[in-house]
Amino acid sequence: MNLRLGKRLTAVADEVDGKRLADVGCDHGKVSVACLLAGKVERVIACDISSKSLQKAVDLAKEYQVKGIEFRAGDGLQVIKDGEVDCVVIAGMGGNEIMSILSHIPQGIKRLVLSPHRNAIELRAFLSGKGVYIAKDYVVKDGAKFYDVIVAEVNSGKDCNLDRRQLLLGKNAKGGDFDEYIQRIKQKYGMLAQKNVDSEQVKLYREMLRLAEQI
């Protein structure tokens, strides 16, 4: 029995790699259940700060009769102990919230799969500054919206520095849904430019478009 996911969550689930997964802010628990059904992981700890939201994940797990899933109500990674998981998914929240959650990363975690719905640039800078290596970073269009999917490695020993293009556009800034994403940025920039708006957002869009032309 398969669980159908949208394009964003499919991309997130596809990037999961490890034996033990923590799905932080799991909400309905779709990624948790899908990864267990696909045999991508052996065990999942589904976490959410909201007990009400966590119950949705409990109900979904029962519906699909998955084994190896545990549910914990609590704030971010605070409910995860050292050595319990090796992969973490955090999707469906802002970059600032993700940064707060990742301020302390329990030992044993090797892989992070992150999908912020805003503040991706700040999140990239945070990961780089924390010595977390961004292995993949690309855009996915789901419905009418665009989402960043960032796959990062903890304690990899690799160079974690990002150049300006990687910081603003992601490491994998080409192909897939990226071209359409840049067209969306161009439309937003044009609308603001017509209104003679000269804000930090306009300057950011202008720089993003300039860097995209160099790819």
- Rounded Cα distance between 212 and 199, Å, is 20
Mean pLDDT of 48-62: 95
β-pair partners for 88: 22, 112
What pLDDT digit, counting tens, does each position of 166-191 carry?
999 999 998 889 999 999 999 999 98
What pLDDT score does 215 carry?
A: 85
State the pLDDT confidence band at 133, using cuts at 50, 70 and 90: very high
What tokens appear for 10 in the block? 């499919």
Residue 198 clears pLDDT 90, i.e. is over it: no
Neighbours of 104 (CB within 10 A): 10
What pLDDT score does 193 carry?
A: 80
Residue 196 clears pLDDT 80, i.e. is over it: no
| DSSP state for residue 84 in the 8-state scheme | S
Q: What is the CATH number of domain 7-173?
A: 3.40.50.150
Where along the chain do its domains lie? 7-173, 174-215
What pLDDT score does 101 carry?
A: 97
Residue 1 clears pLDDT 70, i.e. is over it: no
Mean pLDDT of 139-148: 96
State the pLDDT confidence band at 212, using cuts at 50, 70 and 90: very high
- Rounded Cα distance between 10 and 54, Å, is 20
Q: Residue 128: which residues within 8 A CB-CB, separation 6 or more?
A: 134, 160, 161, 162, 167
- Rounded Cα distance between 22 and 31, Å, is 10
What pLDDT score does 192 carry?
A: 86
Mean pLDDT of 86-113: 97
Question: What Rg value do the Cα atoms of the chain yield, rounded?
Answer: 18
CB 44 within 8 Å of CB 127:
no
pLDDT above 70 covers a percentage of the chain that reads 100
What pLDDT score does 194 carry?
A: 81
Helix (H, G, I), strand (E, B) or coil at 147: strand
What tokens appear for 136 in the block? 């993949």
